[in-house]
């Protein structure tokens, strides 16, 4: 399946303090907020030879995520903000189901993920923390078997604001808005020992009705490349890229600083890369550990990401 994180690993809630200090005309709590969770997906995003899998296939996935940032880039104001520390930990169970039903020649499946998140935010001498359930993500997905070495998939993810949110707080476990996200992905074995996977999404964010703020649309992809060094072991590289394509808006207007239009509309951007390892055990179960460092950051925190994941499939 296409394991997709159901939460943003951090919420840019530092904007509450930041924007008040820099004189943002609108009292927004979002700036570069997303429901993507970049970096969720690593090696073997999709199962290969999916047409030959059992008619009713279930996979239980358990993710652990740790993120830490000590820099906050506000390119719209020309630099980085000092004295920032953002930490986020999450445990995310996710259930995948692959059915025997066919749609457009592919197999129909579904998945749902529900995170538990702990966040700590400190900026400009202010601090806050919160621990609770995060936002829920669910989606139908269609998998196309293109031969034993290639699987393609398309899905439509919906993120539902089920976590805790308070516009006056720095730390929140919900973004407090719906996101609709078309998604395409593939896993490909170009050679016997080489694996390539990618997931591409485009996010349509809805308005946060508590703040009348609407974050811009976002293009994003996760990627991985691995090489089999033993029968049950792959090592390689993983990472992600995110680019906001439309302006943040509040009250229907482009976000402004000090009464002036921001040239880039507070558009976020980040690229990340790092090493990863993937292990197969008990014949079909898998575990992986992935790390990535962020670069080329604009209007977002800049930090490091760690992912751990265990997947246990079951047929009935």
Distances in Å between the Cα of 251 and the Cα atoms of 11, 63, 137, 187 are 21, 37, 27, 42
Choice among 61-70, 145-154, 244-253 with the minimum mean pLDDT: 244-253
H or E element that contains 91: strand 85-103
Residue 212 predicted with pLDDT over 70: yes
Confidence of residue 223 (pLDDT cuts 50, 70, 90): very high
Residue 205 predicted with pLDDT over 50: yes
Residue 9 predicted with pLDDT over 50: no
What pLDDT shows up at residue 257?
55
What pLDDT shows up at residue 227?
98
Confidence of residue 1 (pLDDT cuts 50, 70, 90): low
Higher pLDDT, residue 82 or 56: 56
Confidence of residue 188 (pLDDT cuts 50, 70, 90): very high
Residue 28 predicted with pLDDT over 50: no
The string of DSSP letters for 110-154 reads EEEE--EEEEEEEETTEEEEEEEE--EEEEEEEEEE-STTEEEEE
Q: Please state the rounded mean pLDDT for residues 13-33.
A: 36
Confidence of residue 76 (pLDDT cuts 50, 70, 90): low
Domains identified in the chain and CATH numbers: 15-315 (2.40.160.40)
Give the model confidence (pLDDT) of 100-133 as tens digits: 999 999 999 999 999 999 999 998 888 999 999 9
Residue corresponding to tokens 């506000």: 74
What pLDDT shows up at residue 77?
62
Give the model confidence (pLDDT) of 240-271 as tens digits: 999 999 988 888 888 765 444 445 567 889 99
106-113 vs 116-123, strand pairing mode? unpaired
Q: Please state the rounded mean pLDDT for residues 268-287.
A: 95
Residue 144 predicted with pLDDT over 60: yes
Residues near 118 by Cβ (< 8 Å), separated by ≥ 6? Answer: 88, 89, 90, 129, 130, 131
What pLDDT shows up at residue 30?
54
Residue 23 predicted with pLDDT over 60: no
């Amino acid at each position: 399946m296409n394991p997709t994180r159901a939460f943003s690993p951090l919420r840019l809630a530092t904007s509450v303090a930041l924007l008040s200090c820099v004189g943002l005309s609108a009292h927004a709590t979002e700036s570069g907020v997303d429901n993507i969770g970049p970096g969720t997906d690593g090696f073997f995003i999709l199962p290969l030879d999916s047409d030959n899998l059992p008619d009713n296939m279930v996979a239980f996935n358990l993710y652990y995520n740790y993120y830490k940032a000590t820099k906050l880039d506000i390119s719209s104001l020309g630099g980085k903000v000092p004295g920032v520390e953002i930490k986020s930990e999450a445990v995310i169970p996710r259930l995948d189901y692959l059915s025997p039903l066919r749609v457009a020649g592919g197999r129909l499946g579904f998945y749902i993920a529900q995170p538990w998140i702990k966040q700590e935010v400190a900026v400009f001498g202010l601090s806050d923390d919160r621990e609770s359930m995060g936002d829920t993500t669910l989606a139908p997905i269609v998998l196309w078997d293109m031969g034993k070495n290639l699987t393609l998939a398309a899905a439509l993810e919906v993120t539902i604001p089920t976590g805790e949110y308070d516009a006056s707080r720095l730390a929140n476990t919900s973004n407090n808005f719906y996101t609709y996200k078309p998604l395409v992905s593939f896993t490909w074995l170009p050679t016997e020992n080489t694996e390539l996977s990618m997931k591409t999404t485009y996010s349509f964010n809805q308005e946060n009705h508590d703040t009348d703020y609407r974050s811009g649309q976002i293009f994003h992809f996760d990627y991985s490349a691995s090489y089999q060094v033993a029968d049950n072991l792959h090592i390689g590289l993983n990472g992600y890229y995110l680019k906001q394509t439309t302006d943040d808006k509040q009250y229907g207007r482009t976000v402004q600083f000090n009464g002036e239009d921001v040239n880039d509309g507070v558009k976020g951007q980040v690229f990340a890369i790092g090493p990863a390892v993937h292990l197969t055990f008990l014949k079909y179960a898998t575990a992986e550990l992935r790390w990535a460092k962020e670069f080329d950051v604009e209007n977002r925190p800049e930090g490091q990401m760690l992912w751990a994941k265990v997947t246990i499939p079951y047929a009935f």
